Amino acid sequence: MSERAELIVQDAGPLTTVQDLGRVGYLRVGIPTSGPMDRDAFVLANRLVGNGDDAAGLECTLLGPRVEFPDERLVAVTGAEMAPTLNGSPVPAWQGLRVKAGDVLRLGPARSGVRAYLAVAGGLETPPVLGSRSTFVRGQLGGIDGRALRKGDRLPLGAVPAARPRRVPPDRVPAYGTEAEVAVVLGPQDDRFTPAGIAAFLGGPYELLPQSDRMGARLKGPFIEHTRGHDIVSDGVPMGGIQVIGEGQPIVLLADRQSAGGYTKVATVCSFDLGRIAQLKPGGRLHFRRVTVTEAHAMLRDSRRALDAAIE
């Protein structure tokens, strides 16, 4: 009897979730997009195994899972360096690997970066909820029962697409250090800060605090001075929006963020640089670099070109 192929979770790691490119259409009622925190690494994992960009895979945080494969297929690991092993032997990340039935892939603690992605040819076929398989833990939505994976979970796999193993050559693999610079566009409430406040913000650096999560990156650094208080009439919170709260400290709002809020936002991190924040470890230092909208759009084009050229 042939059952549906399932990936078996032998060990889950502290926060391993099913993600696809996200849930679109529900921000206006307060449901965030979710999806991978490092979109480029996620998309490359899918492309390495011949999946479409939106196929669901695993996002593994700080310590990876141990999973068993049911049959022969391509798999790929990208993102944070978690020293993958297959049946106990080291295997390379950033390339398609052919696994067989019963093979066990293990990801260890992150040596550099924070979030690794595991793509399996055919994608994970957990039930889509509101058009997406992405897990939103706070809203108990998507993935498996809206929660992080647990030991013993079984994830249904899709049909294997025809593909040959490919790789991202070593010189195109991103290096995740203890420092990162991200492009920001000032606003929407930059007029609520003093020139000294804006200068402090752009001068940085800001240390990433351990309380950071998929909702937001909490930062500590130079005091960002307001002109007249931090409260505004609540408005929409854009992806990458940088809220500055009472103590003059910034929070970058990310994939699982609240849809609206009542705090001033000094600037917004550009979409193509959000992955750098996702891969910065607690204690790492972040610098903000001001760009115009026009510059940001040119940089977005460059970043898409680099992504499309990353795989050989």
- Under the rule (CB under 8 A), what is the footprint of other proteins? 24-31, 129-130, 138-141, 146, 184-185, 187-189, 233-241, 258-261, 265, 268-272, 293-294, 296-297, 299-301, 304
> Could you give the CA distance from residue 209 to residue 215 in angstroms, rounded to a whole number?
13
Question: To the nearest whole angstrom, how small is the minimum distance from the Cβ of residue 296 to other proteins?
Answer: 4
Smallest distance, other proteins to C-beta of residue 183, A:
8
Shortest Å, Cβ 283 to other proteins: 26
- Of 43 and 49, the one with the shorter C-beta distance to other proteins is 43
Closer to other proteins at the Cβ: 130 or 200? 130
| C-beta closer to other proteins: residue 61 or 189 | 189
Residues counted in the chain? 312
CB 138 within 8 A of CB 255: no
Q: Which is nearer to other proteins, 69 or 193 (CB)?
A: 193
Closer CB to other proteins, residue 97 or residue 141? 141
In the complex, what is the shortest distance from the CB of residue 265 to other proteins, in angstroms, rounded to a whole number? Answer: 8
Cα 149 to Cα 166: distance, rounded to the nearest angstrom:
28
Reading the block at residue 26, the tokens are 């529900």
Distance between CA atoms of residues 208 and 289, nearest Å: 16
d(CA 114, CA 145): 24
Alpha carbons within 13 angstroms on the beta-carbon side of residue 96 total 20
Beta bridge partners, 109, equal: 63
Question: Given CA atoms 71, 312, 172, 45 in this order, what sign does their dihedral have?
Answer: negative
Burial 155-184 (b: 16+ CB within 10 A, else e): bbbbebeeeeebbbeeeebbebeeebebbb
Nearer to other proteins, 178 or 211 (CB): 211
Taking the complex as a whole, how short is the minimal distance between the CB of residue 295 and other proteins, in angstroms? 9
Q: In the 3-class helix/strand/coil scheme, how is 220-254 assigned residue by residue?
A: ECCCCCECCCCEEEEEECCCCEEEECCCCCEEEEC
Provide the minimum distance between the beta carbon of 54 and other proteins in the complex, in angstroms, as a whole number: 15
User: Nearest approach, Cβ of 274 to other proteins (angstroms)?
Assistant: 9
Q: Which is nearer to other proteins, 140 or 194 (CB)?
A: 140
DSSP, res 308? H
